Amino acid sequence: MAAVEFQNVGISFGNVPVVKDLSLTVNDGEFVVLVGPSGCGKSTILRSIAGLAGISSGDMRIGGKRMNDADPAARDIAMVFQSYALFPNMTVAGNLGFGLKIRGEGKAEIDRKVADVAAVVGLSDHLHKRPGALSGGQRQRVALARAILRRPGVFLFDEPLSNLDAEFRTAMRAEIVRFHRTQGASMVYVTHDQTEAMTMGDRIAVLAPLAAGHKANLMQYGTPDEVYHRPANLFVARFIGTPRMNVVTLPVKGGAVRFGGQQLALPPSAVRLGNVILGQRPEHLRLSQEGAEPGLVGTVEHIENLGHEMILTFSTAIGQMVLRDARSGSGPMLGQTVRLSLDPNQVHLFDPASEQRLD
């Protein structure tokens, strides 16, 4: 069991920096998800823990020991690849025993360990098969079993569910979380899928690409609730949550902003600004009762009926607004004009210059 610490780590491919000034600690036994759009460096960070990508500056420690340049095999880690990386020319037993054989263990010992781990992941009947004859989920289990055999302090997962179909993905998500509880080892899990991030991680590290002009990759590091309910900046606010958070820039007048007819008082930190970015998630936006509440006039532009809920898109004087409405059936019609109002307790405010959260 081991913690992973990054201290001001930078990673470059040639002259192109991919990761800058990363400081982040994965506590012993913690399940951390690295999430972000493509190019945000999440896979590179994972591969730098494994020793498959080189660290250009700063320090990376595993279990307290500096591991920047250590051989991958000496890092107390095991990795589950996106493609599973099973050796197609070997049987399942051969795949599982490969590392043990390389490390020079005896045949009887290898057979015993392989049989044990196969029983744990439910592959005992498939040991003689080749990976090509297995289903996606079984391959996933072989990859997992191979990692377990290493008894590592840290498990690394590189988008392991992206090759599975949607139905199966949910089941495997639960299986990996259960696996984490039983193993008790630290886990670092890379995904671009925010549902996986929200449902699996003890903590989530939201990463942004340097190419988009960010000074460092790490946008926020916190629990799923923190990241969702208190996004630290505009990037996190817009990246986490589907449909995306509604975001509008509004002028500050007399310590308040106006959302149509709705007056919204600002906290002291926002009062001195000329403009403020206001965000609200689609599920918090409300349809006003006609005449009852002041609000923003909007016309229904698009309706997505998902059965259990409706996603309504409105065009308004200050831009598009999306509203998520759980009451299906009796909503407004296409082209109908309605009033929208904010839930004042669920408003997120950001500084337009720094894009950081204002409280």
Give residues in contact with other proteins (CB under 8 A).
11, 13-14, 47, 50-55, 68-73, 77-79, 81-83, 85-90, 98-99, 102-103, 146, 150
Shortest spacing between CB 173 and other proteins, in angstroms: 22
Using the minimum distance from each CB to other proteins, give the nearer residue, 11 or 236.
11
Give the sheet arrangement for strand 57-62, strand by strand: 16-26, 4-13, 57-62, 65-66
CB of 118 to other proteins, least distance (A): 17
Q: State which residue, 29 or 99, has the beta carbon closest to other proteins.
A: 99
Least Å distance between CB 59 and other proteins?
A: 13
Please give the angle made by the CA atoms of 108, 88 and 113, to the nearest 5 degrees: 20
Supply the minimum distance, in Å, between the C-beta of residue 72 and other proteins.
Answer: 5
Which residue shows structure tokens 């029983």? 119
Which CB atom, from 86 or from 358, has the smaller least distance to other proteins?
A: 86
What is the residue whose two structure tokens read 């997962």? Answer: 157
The whole-angstrom separation of Cα 236 and Cα 189 is 18
Q: What is the largest CA-CA distance in the chain?
A: 81
Closest CA to 93 of 85, 101, 82: 101
How far apart CA 246 and CA 238 sit, in angstroms, is: 8
Q: Which is nearer to other proteins, 51 or 153 (CB)?
A: 51
Amino acid making up residue 21: D
The secondary element (H helix, E strand) that includes residue 248 is strand 246-251
Q: How many helices (H) and strands (E) does the chain have?
A: 9, 21
Say which residues have a Cβ less than 8 Å from residue 254's Cβ, sequence separation at least 6.
Answer: none
**DSSP string of 336-348?**
-EEEEE--GGG-E
Please report how close the Cβ of residue 327 comes to other proteins at its closest, in angstroms. Answer: 45
Phi (first) and psi of residue 79, to 5 degrees: -130, 140
Choose between 81 and 228: whose C-beta lies nearer to other proteins: 81
Q: Are 217 and 41 in contact (CB under 8 A)?
A: yes
Q: Tell me the two tokens of residue 227.
A: 């990241």
Q: Which residue number, 11 or 148, has a Cβ lying nearer to other proteins?
A: 11
Which CB, 142 or 198, lies closer to other proteins?
142
Nearer Cβ to other proteins (85/347)? 85
Min CB(213)–other proteins separation in Å: 23
Q: Minimal distance in Å, beta carbon 154 to other proteins?
A: 12
3-state helix, strand, coil in the chain (%, to 5): 30, 35, 40
Q: Which is nearer to other proteins, 81 or 168 (CB)?
A: 81
Q: Shortest gap between Cβ of 104 and other proteins (angstroms)? A: 10
Residue 16 Cβ, how far from other proteins at the closest point, in Å?
Answer: 10
C-beta of 14: minimal distance to other proteins in Å? Answer: 8
List the beta bridge partners of residue 297: 339
Instruction: Give the nearer residue to other proteins in terms of CB position, either 71 or 165.
Output: 71
Of 54, 142, 56, 32, which Cα lies nearest the Cα of 91? 142
| Beta bridge partners of residue 222, listed in sequence order | 204
**134 DSSP 8-state letter:** S
